[in-house]
Amino acid sequence: MKDRVSVALESYLEQIADLQKEHGAVRTSDLADRMGCRRSSVTNALQRLSEKGLINYQSYRPVTLTAEGEKTIKALSRYHGILADFLENILAFPEKFAQEEACRLEHRVSQSTIERMRIYIEFIEQTDNLDRGLASAKFKEFMQKR
Amino acid sequence: MKDRVSVALESYLEQIADLQKEHGAVRTSDLADRMGCRRSSVTNALQRLSEKGLINYQSYRPVTLTAEGEKTIKALSRYHGILADFLENILAFPEKFAQEEACRLEHRVSQSTIERMRIYIEFIEQTDNLDRGLASAKFKEFMQKR
DNA sequence: CGCAAAAATTAGCTTTATCTAACACTTTTA
DNA sequence: TAAAAGTGTTAGATAAAGCTAATTTTTGCG
């Protein structure tokens, strides 16, 4: 069982995936902007990600994810999505906050909790469809009145 | 706004509070057992906690929390309690898991999310009392059927 | 009491993750 | 096309958090 990559490196990896989608190529300075750190810290991170086989990296060349890196990202972004969905649609947070909080939590929340959140969302949706509780709508209403 | 103590140090602080309650005095080796690390790492942590004014520490003496340390712990354990409550009573996890997961998350979840979880629990309880949805019971039932 | 065992600390090393400053490559542009 | 600007990397520091091995302090017992 290959040891899990650190929270910091996971975040770099996510930003790389994001930038790849947006711009194709991924540059050190864009990553530094996103991560709020110096370019030299990015270089250091890229070297470590490369050693772990998660990115294709050569000096002065734009970066891409390896197949392994893609796989890691896929799992992570699923976690992120479910978390953000839960925060927005169950706990009734605004989307922006939900996204930010999901970023903070996705590296820590266990798989069981993620799956349970998914099931909970499904449950609430079913309840809503049965027009019995309209639980999520009711919660939003409840929030307004406080 | 004094900068927040690290996740690692926060964990040490919690174990200190726990041991203080159980045994009065807090010894390096007990802490090492609890934290699953070496005694030398504990000494190192104690020195840093002491520099931050969170514990009273002198070489070879048992450790106690400062007022500041107590305050930190109080906030943390409130977070822990709400999280565990949410995991157990909303997401229907067994108590043991809820406690463990709360330990992992309490250092990362933002205050807003904690407060919102508290409100959500309150909301569900009210709903349940109105005998309208019995949402939490229904969710447990729903879980059983899967 | 005095000494051995246990407990705690120190010293020194490692890795991660960050920084600044200096240097090396690339790209732009006059 | 060559100098300047911009981008990327290296070198060297620092701090957190851990480790092992060696040393120091405390404690318990014969």
**Nearest in space to B47 (alpha carbons), one of B57, B36, B60:** B57
Res A132: pLDDT = 55
Res A38: pLDDT = 98
pLDDT of A1 above 50: no
pLDDT of A6 above 60: yes
Res B142: pLDDT = 76
Higher pLDDT, A14 or B146: A14
Nearest Cα of chain A lies from the Cα of B58 at a distance, in angstroms, of: 34
CA A58, A59, A61, A67 torsion-angle sign: positive
**Nearest in space to A106 (alpha carbons), one of B8, B44, A98:** A98
Contact check, Cβ <8 Å, A97/B112: yes
H helix runs in chain A, sequence order:
7-23, 28-35, 39-51, 67-85, 95-105, 111-129, 135-145
pLDDT of B131 above 70: no
* Span CA (A61) to C1' (C27), Å: 14
> What average pLDDT does this structure show over B4-9?
94
Res B134: pLDDT = 62
A105 closest CB neighbour out of B97, B108, B142: B108
Counting Cβ atoms within 10 Å, is residue A41 exposed (0-12), middle (13-18) or buried (19+)? middle
H helix runs in chain B, sequence order:
7-23, 28-35, 39-51, 67-89, 95-105, 111-129, 135-145
Return chain A residues 34..63 having CB < 7 Å to nucleic acid strand C.
35-38, 40-41, 44-45, 48, 60
Taking the C-alpha atoms of residue A114 and residue A91, their distance in angstroms, rounded to an integer, is 15
> In this predicted model, what pLDDT tens digit does every residue of A126-136 receive, in sequence order?
876 665 556 67
B105 closest CB neighbour out of A92, A108, A135: A108
Taking the C-alpha atoms of residue A36 and residue A7, their distance in angstroms, rounded to an integer, is 15
Taking the C-alpha atoms of residue B46 and residue B68, their distance in angstroms, rounded to an integer, is 15
> In this predicted model, what pLDDT tens digit does every residue of A60-117 receive, in sequence order?
999 999 999 999 999 999 999 999 999 999 999 999 999 999 999 999 999 999 999 9
Taking the C-alpha atoms of residue B37 and residue B39, their distance in angstroms, rounded to an integer, is 7
Helix (H, G, I), strand (E, B) or coil at B106: coil
pLDDT of B126 above 70: yes
Contact check, Cβ <8 Å, B123/A142: yes
> In this predicted model, what pLDDT tens digit does every residue of B9-65 receive, in sequence order?
999 999 999 999 998 889 999 999 999 999 999 999 999 999 999 999 999 999 999
Percent of chain A at pLDDT > 90 equals 78
Percent of chain A at pLDDT > 70 equals 92
> What average pLDDT does this structure show over A24-44?
96
Taking the C-alpha atoms of residue A72 and residue A9, their distance in angstroms, rounded to an integer, is 11
Taking the C-alpha atoms of residue A90 and residue A140, their distance in angstroms, rounded to an integer, is 9
Average pLDDT, chain A: 91
B110 closest CB neighbour out of A104, A110, A117: A104
Contact check, Cβ <8 Å, B146/A119: yes
In strand D, the nucleotides that come within 7 Å of a protein beta carbon are 7-12, 16-22, 25-26
Average pLDDT, chain B: 91
Taking the C-alpha atoms of residue B146 and residue B144, their distance in angstroms, rounded to an integer, is 6
Res A129: pLDDT = 66
Q: Which nucleotide is nearest to B8 (CA to C1')?
A: D17
Return the residue matching tokens 């070489």: B59
pLDDT tier, B125 (very low <50, low <70, confident <90, very high otherwise): confident
User: B48 beta carbon < 7 A from strand C?
Assistant: no
Higher pLDDT, A99 or A138: A99
Taking the C-alpha atoms of residue A110 and residue A29, their distance in angstroms, rounded to an integer, is 32
pLDDT of B130 above 80: no
Res A123: pLDDT = 87
pLDDT tier, A143 (very low <50, low <70, confident <90, very high otherwise): confident
State the DSSP code for B26.
B
Residues of chain A contacting B138 with CB distance shorter than 8 Å: 123, 127
**B112-118 contacts: CB < 8 A, separation 24 or more?**
B112/A93, B112/A97, B112/A101, B113/A87, B113/A91, B113/A93, B113/A101, B114/B78, B114/B79, B114/B82, B114/B83, B116/A91, B116/A92, B116/A93, B117/A91, B117/B82, B117/B83, B117/B85, B117/B86, B117/B90, B118/B82
Which domains are present in chain A? 7-65 (1.10.10.10), 75-145 (1.10.60)
